[in-house]
A and B are shown apart, each in its own frame.
Chain A
Amino acid sequence: MLSYLSLVLLLLILAGFALGHRKALAIGATSDVRMHSLAGYHGWYVAALVGIPSFLLVLLWLLFQGPVIDWLLIGSLPKDRVDGLGQGQLDLLVSQIKSVAAGNIFSKPDSVVTAAAERYNRWNTIANWSMVAVAIAIALVGIAIAQQRISARFRARNTVELVMSGLMIACSLIAILTTFGIVASLLYESLRFFDKVPVTEFLTGLNWEPQIAIREDQVTGGGAFGAIPVFAGTLLIALIAMAVATPIGLFAAIYLTEYASSKFRAVIKPILEILAGIPTVVYGFFAVLTVAPAIRNFGQAVGFDVAPNSALVAGGVMGIMLIPFISSLSDDAIAAVPQAMRDGSYALGATKGETTTKVLLPAALPGIMGGILLAVSRAIGETMIVVMAAGIIASFTFNPFEPVTTVTVQIMTLLIGDTEFDNPKTLAAFALGLVLFLATLLVNVIALRIVQKYREQYE
C-alpha cells in the first residue's frame, strides 16, 4: 500500500515538473516579457508544491493513525466492558483485539472482542484509503495551484531556493533531534525505572540480579538492581584494555614519528588502521575462538585456573582494537610539537631518545592524554567484544582471571528478545544506557577540552 502510494506520488511529482517546465517554456515563447526564471525552476517549483505537502501529510498520517484508531476503538467498546479496567488491562484488551484482527486467534475470543476486531480492521482500511485519497488530492491541488502561478514575472528560482534552504535547515536539525531523541528516550525510561527502583539503590547497591522477576506489589527490588558490580566490571575491563593498548600504541607512535623512515610509515600506518576498521563482532569471535583457549591453556600450564570468559580475555582483545586509536592520536600529538623544540634539544646534544622522552612527550602529553581518554570512552561503550567474551553474571571482583560483566553486556542481555516496556528489567537497561551515555559524554568532553587547550598553545 505504502510503496504504491509513494510510487504514485513520485509519478505525480515528475508529472508536475514536466507540466511546469512545459508551461514555462510555452509562456516564454509567446510572452513579450523575458521570463524571470529558467523553465527548469518553474518545473521544480511545481514539483516541490506537489511533493512536500503530500509526503508530509503521509508522514503525519502514519504517525497519528495508530493512536487515533486505538482511541476510537477504546471509545467504541461497551461501557460495562471497559469500566473498572486499569491501564494495563485496557492495553491487554486492545492488544488482544489487534491480534484477533490480524488473524492470530489462540483462544476463542468473546463476541465483544471479535466485533471490535472487525471494527478495527474496517477502520484501518478506511483510514488507509482515505490517506491515499487525501494525499493524491493534495498533490493534484498542488499541481493546479502551482500551474496557476507560473508566469513570466513569477520568481520561481527564488522560491525554489528558499524551499531548498528550508530543506537543508531541516536536515541540519536532524542532528539535534537525534541527540534530543537519545536524551529524551533514555531519561523517560530511566525515570520510569527509578519510579520502581530507587535511584540510590541503583547507584550504590552491591547486588545485580535483574533477571529475577519483580511482582507489582513489591516496590523495592530486594537489592536486585544495585549496579555497582556492573560499573566495577566495566572499569576493570576498560583498565585491562588500556593497559594493553596504551604502551603498545604509545611506543608505536614514538617509533613512527621519530625513528621510522617515511616508507616504513607509509606501510605500517594503514596496517595499524586496519585494526580499527575490523568490526567488533569479529574481535568478539576472535576472543572466543583463539584468545580465550590460549590464555586458558597458558594458565593451566603455569598451574592456575582462568575462567573461559575472564575479564582478561575481553579486556585484552579490546586493547588490541584500541591500539590504533592511541597510536594515531599520539602520533598526531607528537608530530604537532614544533620542530624548533626538537632542534633545540638536538643542539644541546641530546639523543633522539632523550629528546623524545624529555622534550616531546611532556610537550605532547595533553594530546596523548586526550587520545587515551577518547580510547577510554570507546572502551566503556564497546559492546560486541564484551557481549561475546565477558560474563553475564555480575560479580564484584577486581581479579582479572574471573568473569565480570559490563554495562553494555547488561543492556544487551536485558533487551535481546521480547521486551515489555513496563517491566523494570527492560527499564533497567535504559537506566544503564543513561549512565553509559553520560559517562562517555563526560570523558569525551574532558578529552576534547584537553586536546583543544593544547592545540592553542602552539598555534
Chain B
Amino acid sequence: MSDGIAQAPEVPARESHWGSDAAKRRVRRRYGADRRLQIYGIGAIGLAVALLGILFSSLLFSGYVAFFTTKVGLNIYLDPKIIDQADPGAANYRKMTRSAFFAYFPEVTSPKERRQLAKLLSPGAKYVVRDYVVAHPEEIGNLVEIKVPLSDPYDQLYKGVIPRDIDALSSDRIALFKVLQRRGVLHVENNKAYVKADVYVNPQDVPDGDIETADYQRMVNEAFRSFYMSARTPAYEEILSKEAAAAVKARVLADPGLVGKTIRISLPLSEHYDNLARTGEAKVLNPRFSSKKDLEWFDSLKKRGLVSTRFTWELFFNADSRFPEVAGLAGALTGSFLTLLVCFLLSFPIGIATALYMEEFAPKNRWTDLIEVNINNLAAVPSVVFGLLGLAVFLNAFGLPRSAPVVGGIVLSLMTLPTIIVATRAALMAVPPSIREGGYGVGASKHQVMMHHVLPLAMPGILTGTIIGLARALGETAPLLLIGMNAFIPSIENMGLMQPAMALPTQIFSWADSPERGFVSRTSAAILILLAFLIIMNAIAVFLRHRSERKW
C-alpha cells in the first residue's frame, strides 16, 4: 500500500489563494447554487399551497350561492273545496300555484304566453306549496303568502351568476375590428356606424359593361381587404352589412362614368359590429332565456319587490331533484350515514379483532405472515377494484340488492379495515409491557389482560385510526358508483339499509354531470359540505390523538 502512495505521480500544486477573485467567485457560485435550491424548495411549497388555495377558493366562490335561493312570494288561497282536509297532499297544487302566479300578470291571457310565463317558476314550486299545506293543515281556507323558488335561469340571473346578455362576438373578431378603429376609418352618423373606404370600381367586375349585374360585393371586399395587411382569416368580410355593396351599386348607377375609377364611400356595418362601433360592446340575449319578454316579466316582478334571495337550509333538507333550484342533499346525507354506519359496525370490531390477534396472540408462522402481507396489499389495491369485487361477489354471486347502503358499507369496510388494523396495532404496541406484566402478576389470563387493560388503554388510538379510516371511506366514490349507489332518490321517506340510495360523493358526481347551470353551484356547495364533514372528523381524530398522548 505504502508503495502506491510513494509512486503516485507528482501533482503540480495548484495555487489556492482564498482571497483571490477566482476563489471568491467560486464561493459566490456555490452559495448561489445553495440559495437557488432553497428558492426552488420555497417555490414548490408555495405552489402546492397556492394550488390548495385555488381549489378551496374556486369551490367557495362557485358554491356559496347555492345556500341562497331566489324566491317569489305568492298569495295563494287554500281553497277548502280543492284541498281535501283528510288528504291535503293530493290536491292539484300545480294549478293553484300557477294561477296565483298568473294573478301578478293580468295582461297575459293567451294560453301560449301563459305557458311561457309559467316557465319563470320552478317546476318544483308546486311541491313547496304542497309541503306547506301538509305541514300547516290549519291554514286551509285562508289566504297565505308562500315563497316559492324561481326556475334555474332566473335564480342564477338574480344571484348574478349568469349575465342577461352575452358577447355576440368572440375576442378574435373584436381584435380584428379594433384594427379599423386604430386606422380611424370609422365614423358615426345618424346613430349608425360607417366605415370610410376607397372602392375601386374594377372594370373586370363589370361584365360586358353591364353595371346592373356587376359584382359590387367583390369590389367592396377588395377595398376592405386593404385595411388588413396581414389578416389571418377572411372573417372580416362579415363586418360589413350586406347593404354595403348596394350602396356602391347605387353610386355607380347614379353615375356610370365611375367605372374604372376609385370612389370614396361610407359603407354601413353589420348589426353586431355597428353596436360595437357605437357603444363599445355587442351583446345578444343569453340563450338560456327564451325571449326578451320573459326577462321583462321577471323585471316587473323584481320592480314590485316580489323577488328575494335569502339564506336557506333547503340544501340540507330537500331530497334530490332534477331541478337544481329545489335539489338538496338530504338523501345523499342519509345514504352516506347509513353506509358509514354499516362500514363502522363491520370494520371496527373486525379490525380490532384482527389487530389484537396479529399483535398479541398469533404465533409467528407462514399463515400469519400471509395474513400480514394480505393486509398490506389490500391497503394498496385501487378503490375501483373493490368496486369490481362488490359487483361480482356481493351483487352477482350473493344476490344482495343493487344500490343498497348495506353493500356499500360492506365494500367500504373492506377498504377501511387495513387503516383500522394498522392504527390498532400501533396503539396496542404503545401500551407499555408493565401493564401486561402487572395483569399477569395478579393472575389474570391473557384474554383478561387484553380485554380489561390493554385494549381500553389503546382505545383512543384505535378510535383515532377508525375515524380517519371512516373519513376516507366517506369520500370514496368509485366503488359506490360500481355497485350502483348513484340512484335517483327524489324522496327520503323510504330509505333503508336494503333500499336504493346514494351517498354524498356519488351525489356530487351525478350533479357534476348534470347540464343545468344551477347544478354547478350545488355541486360546489355539496363538496363544501363533504369537506366540512371531513374536517370535523379529522379534527376529532387530532383531538383524540392529543388527549391520548400520554407519557408512560
Contacts and interface: CB of A to CB of B under 8 A. Distances in A.
Interface of A: 63, 66, 157, 161, 164-165, 167-169, 171-176, 178-179, 181-182, 185-186, 188-189, 247-252, 254-256, 259-260, 268, 271-272, 274-275, 277-286, 288-290, 320, 323, 327, 351-354, 356-357, 374, 377, 380-384, 387-388, 408, 411-412, 415-416, 419, 421, 429-430, 433, 436-437, 440-441, 444, 448
Among A281, A290, A383, residue most surrounded by chain B Cβ atoms (within 10 Å):
A281
Interface string B361-405: 110000010110011111011111111110111001111000000
Given A168-B354, A174-B350, 16 more contacts: A164-B447, A165-B357, A168-B357, A179-B377, A179-B378, A251-B44, A252-B45, A255-B38, A256-B41, A256-B45, A351-B33, A408-B382, A411-B482, A412-B384, A412-B482, A440-B382
A289 B58 contact: yes
B166 to A, nearest CB: 15
B42 interface: yes
B168 interface: no
Interface string B35-64: 111101111110111011011001100100
B148 interface: no
B382 A381 contact: yes
A247 B478 CA distance: 29
A436 B538 CA distance: 31
B45 A353 contact: no
A354 B375 CA distance: 41
B380 A178 contact: no
B72 interface: no
Interface stretch (B95-103, B238-246, B276-284, B519-527): B519-527
B482 A416 contact: yes
A388 B509 contact: yes
Contacts of B371: 172-173, 175-176
B508 A281 contact: yes
Given A178-B414, A281-B477, A430 B392 contact: yes
B481 interface: yes
B445 interface: yes
The CB with the most chain A CB atoms within 10 A, among B55, B376, B384, B387, is that of B384
B358 interface: yes
Interface in B471-499: 471-472, 474-478, 481-482, 486
A441 B373 CA distance: 12
Contacts of B30: 351, 353-354
Given A275-B52, A421-B396, A174 B354 contact: yes
A135 B418 CA distance: 33
Nearest to A417: B484
B20 to A, nearest CB: 17
Contacts, number: 246
Contacts of A408: 382, 384, 478
Contacts of B58: 286, 289-290
B37 A279 contact: no
B87 interface: no
Interface of B: 30-31, 33-38, 40-45, 47-49, 51-52, 54-55, 58-59, 62, 349-350, 353-354, 356-358, 361-362, 368, 370-371, 374-378, 380-389, 391-393, 396-399, 414, 417-418, 421, 445-447, 471-472, 474-478, 481-482, 486, 505, 508-509, 512, 520, 523-524, 527, 530-531, 534, 538
B38 A286 contact: no
Given A161-B445, A275-B48, A357 B350 contact: no
A176 B370 contact: yes
Contacts of B418: 175
A268 B33 contact: no
A189 to B, nearest CB: 6
Contacts of B481: 412, 416
Nearest to B507: A281
A437 B385 contact: yes
A251 B353 contact: no
Given A382-B382, A383-B384, A440-B382, A172 B520 contact: no
B445 A157 contact: yes
A175 B527 contact: no
B476 A172 contact: no
A437 B474 CA distance: 23
B412 to A, nearest CB: 12
Contact of B505 (A176, A279, A289): A279
B256 to A, nearest CB: 47
Contact of A259 (B31, B41, B398, B531): B41
Given A286-B55, A353-B33, A252 B509 contact: no
Contacts of B393: 181, 185
A279 B370 contact: no
A356 B34 CA distance: 9
Given A408-B384, A421-B396, A175 B505 contact: no
Q: Which of B357, B370, B385, B397 has the most CB of A within 10 A?
A: B385
> Sorted from nearest, which 6 A-B pairs have the closest CB atoms?
A255-B41, A381-B382, A279-B475, A353-B34, A251-B44, A185-B392
B447 A387 contact: no
Contacts of A254: 37, 41
B534 A279 contact: yes
Given A289-B62, A384-B478, A268 B49 contact: yes
Contacts of A380: 382
Contact of A436 (B358, B368, B384): B384
